[in-house]
């Protein structure tokens, strides 16, 4: 069965700031205000929650054993090697799935002089150091 991961936003307010842009707020002030907002929504019930979060702004299919063949370990390893944020890596994997990229895709090429905007693949890695590092990351993480 397919499962999905949804990203939502929720609004809350912080009172008492002396900065017009709220730049003086602390982590604790944010946290307290957000917890109060969640307590208020709990008190109002499930409909209040549905109304507060509205529809997700992003959704992706979660990986399961069924989608393991679409795991794209080279994209994940390439992103980790470059220090990319995990959400960016997941977006690249999602795009690879949508575009039916080769299983050994490493990254999405830009269109223009350097190519058609297709996917670069593992055999295109010229540097032996880079190839070894990618293989090490895949081994260390199990490709996840």
Closest CA to 61 of 88, 84, 91: 91
SS3 112: strand
Report the pLDDT value the prediction gives residue 64, as an integer from 0 to 100: 60
Number of domains in the chain: 2
Report the pLDDT value the prediction gives residue 43, as an integer from 0 to 100: 95
Please tell me whether residues 111 and 92 are part of one structural domain. yes
Please tell me whether residues 36 and 71 are part of one structural domain. no
Please tell me whether residues 101 and 32 are part of one structural domain. no
Please tell me whether residues 119 and 100 are part of one structural domain. yes
DSSP string, 92-108: HHHHHHHTT--TTEEEE
Please tell me whether residues 119 and 93 are part of one structural domain. yes
% of the chain with per-residue pLDDT over 70? 88
Could you tell me the residue range of the domain that residue 27 belongs to? 4-58
pLDDT, one tens digit per residue, over 31-60 is 999 999 999 999 999 999 999 998 998 888
The answer to whether the predicted template modeling score (pTM) of the entire model surpasses 0.85 is: no
């Amino acid at each position: 069965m397919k499962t999905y991961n949804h990203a939502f936003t929720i609004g809350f307010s912080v009172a008492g700031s002396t900065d017009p842009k709220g730049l003086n707020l602390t982590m604790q002030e944010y946290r307290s205000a957000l917890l109060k907002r969640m307590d208020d929504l709990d008190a109002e019930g499930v409909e209040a929650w549905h109304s507060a979060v509205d529809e997700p702004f992003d959704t992706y299919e979660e990986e399961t054993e069924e989608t393991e063949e679409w795991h794209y370990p080279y994209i994940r390893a390439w992103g980790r090697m470059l220090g990319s944020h995990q959400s960016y890596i997941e977006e690249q994997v999602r795009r690879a799935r949508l575009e039916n990229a080769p299983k050994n895709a490493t990254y999405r090429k830009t269109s223009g002089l350097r190519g058609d905007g297709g996917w670069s693949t593992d055999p295109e890695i010229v540097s032996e150091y880079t190839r070894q590092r990618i293989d090490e990351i895949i081994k260390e993480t199990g490709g996840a």
